[in-house]
Structure 1
């Protein structure tokens, strides 16, 4: 399992009982048994299974089965055109079906960015499928009884104004036409000065915010080989990835109609890790999350930004597995 050679991982593609076809990496440790803990790792935007490349091998070596799907719209997984196919209810049904396909009754669910949001919603839609929940970079937010349009979200939290740009279908072509620059911008070092901010993307309307923007290799958190691998994968199309940002009202309606609770399962262990330089992670939202998660532990990584699995790859690898091993020594209700 070489992080610079995606082919060195164990790849599978299966049609799930939801009818959707998913590609995923499935790494099984030696001496595997039904008691081996399974880690289901969910990537964010714009990423694919490869986002977990630095963690997969060490976690397998510590005795875990590691399952890492390309989420809907990414990589080798199906890419529906319509945004309605990307609601978290449907994504969580796919993830539950993936566990069924693999014969895994319960898993430790780990998510980053959009994957963190999806992982936390999985804990609401399918609460009995989790042994523990680990979310990176994006804190838990409960279902809201009232729908908040993305424009209002941007007013309340200017660093989230980019969501207005992504929400418009016309942004797909702009991003696809400037993909090299876009990927550089998204994966830039948290201290890099680029002349373009997340907030300003949302204020440009549908003009091209990436025109003339130059971000050298040294200002990107990826090595050049990693950048090339990710760029090639995203060249398969950005409509699917951007559709996640176009589901807000659909998600709200599904959650309201299902009466999803605000609180996570009372006995569910939850670990939240975030970078102190990540502008999309605010203290207010983190503090709010504590009200709804009885067993949450949050860990700040000082001087780190959004891409924790890369910027702090060794810290994330060790903190996650050490936390899980601690649960296995003193598991809730006598077991993990």
Structure 2
């Protein structure tokens, strides 16, 4: 596995029982012990399986099978047109079906950004499939008792204004027409990061052209561009599920607390504006076995800015649960 070359990873596709076609990385170590649970990594927006490229190798070399899907709407995975297909219930059912396809009863699920949100919801929709949970950058938020529209949310928290833009139909074509600068800006360092509302303004006024200060090199950026060239409708649809996910969770009467026996690790960068300290403190109210690790001077893209630290902290967490293996490199 060479993190600079996507083709050096083990690619697979599967038609799962929910009817979706999923593309995923299935990296099986040569010394694989099937009694050890695999690690299933869920990416966020705007990302792909490639976002985990620096962690797949280290985890695999420690004997863990690492499975990393392109999430629904991304890469070579199916892209339904209807935004309701991207609700957490449907995504979690897909992940469970992928485990079924691979004959995996239980796994350690690791998520970043939207993937972190989905990982937390997976613990509610399919608690029997989890051995442990790792969430990166986006802390756990419980299901709401009352519906709060996106408009109400943004009025209360103006910094979430970008979600209104992503939820709008106009964002799809505007971002598709400015894909390179959009991605280059999305993967910026904390010091140079733009608010999504500012990014929206620059896109709309065609004043955006930044490739400097991007966390991706030119080759990586072009790989991401190639992954998104078939369209942004799927990735943006996650932001268009606010009411659907509330209704599904309300109907199912999902609990607000994660299972009390579930070990959870939360990793975040101290310069990540999407992860205020208050949100981290609040998560402790709903998770009995929560460990938090703050990574200093790092922003939202922890897997890129703290490549080795993320890999190491997850291995330490797994070791504390008696799951790690001695390296056999």
- When normalised by structure 1's length, the TM-score is 0.93
Aligned-partner Cα distance in 2 for 1:210–1:111: 34
Which SS does the other structure have where 1:191 is aligned? helix
Aligned-partner Cα distance in 1 for 2:321–2:157: 35
Contact 2:33 2:63 in 1 (8 A): no
Which SS does the other structure have where 2:56 is aligned? helix
Residue aligning to 1:334:
none
Contact 1:43 1:49 in 2 (8 A): yes
Residue aligning to 1:106:
106
Which SS does the other structure have where 2:266 is aligned? strand
Which SS does the other structure have where 2:18 is aligned? coil
Residue aligning to 1:333:
none
Unaligned 5+ residue runs, structure 1? 331-336
Which SS does the other structure have where 2:111 is aligned? strand
Please state how far the C-alpha of 1:108 moved relative to its aligned partner. Answer: 0.3
After TM superposition, list the pairs within 5 Å mapping 1:1-336 onto structure 2: 1-192=1-192, 196-200=194-198, 208-209=203-204, 211-217=206-212, 219-328=213-322
Contact 1:161 1:201 in 2 (8 A): no
Aligned-partner Cα distance in 2 for 1:38–1:329: 10
Aligned-partner Cα distance in 1 for 2:17–2:205: 41
Contact 1:44 1:116 in 2 (8 A): yes
Aligned-partner Cα distance in 2 for 1:220–1:200: 17
- The total of aligned residue pairs comes to 324
**1:242-281: per-residue Cα shift (whole Å, max 9, x none)?**
0000001000000000000000000100000111111111
Aligned-partner Cα distance in 1 for 2:209–2:74: 26
Contact 2:303 2:310 in 1 (8 A): yes
Which SS does the other structure have where 2:144 is aligned? coil
Contact 1:182 1:210 in 2 (8 A): no
Please state how far the C-alpha of 1:238 moved relative to its aligned partner. Answer: 0.5
Please state how far the C-alpha of 1:155 moved relative to its aligned partner. Answer: 2.3
Unaligned 5+ residue runs, structure 2? 325-329
Aligned-partner Cα distance in 1 for 2:209–2:75: 26
Which SS does the other structure have where 2:131 is aligned? strand
Contact 1:158 1:199 in 2 (8 A): no
Please state how far the C-alpha of 1:208 moved relative to its aligned partner. Answer: 3.8
Please state how far the C-alpha of 1:329 moved relative to its aligned partner. Answer: 6.5
Aligned-partner Cα distance in 1 for 2:57–2:167: 36
Aligned-partner Cα distance in 2 for 1:209–1:139: 31
Aligned-partner Cα distance in 2 for 1:292–1:209: 40
